[in-house]
Amino acid sequence: MAVTHNIVSVGTTATVISTAANDRDGHSVCVQNPSASTTVYIGGTGVTTTDYGVALAGGADISIDLLQGEILYGVVASSTQSVNVLRAGN
């Protein structure tokens, strides 16, 4: 099991935060929004600021298990916001 991390800059269109490769069983992902005020909206491929799965407020984090082939996206209302991403799994 490998643990990796990176910073992803989320923009005003759906931005890939993490993927579970088609040849792997999947992995756990923790996404942290270090902003004091910007909300990052998280969901699937069509995520928008009005149609989303989770609104990740500034200072919040979420953990999710991605299955094989699944992709996690994020979007912000304006400009960009960096999120911290930690992955564990295959």
* pLDDT, mean of residues 12-37: 88
pLDDT at 90: 65
Decide if pLDDT at 22 tops 80: no
Place of tokens 């984090």: 61
User: Domains of the chain by range and CATH?
Assistant: 2-89 (2.60.120.770)
pLDDT tens per residue, range 39-66: 999 999 999 999 999 999 999 999 999 9
Counting every residue, how long is the chain?
A: 90
* Beta carbons of 2 and 61 less than 8 angstroms apart: no
pLDDT band at residue 5 using 50, 70 and 90 as cut-offs: very high
Please give the residue that has the higher pLDDT: either 90 or 82: 82
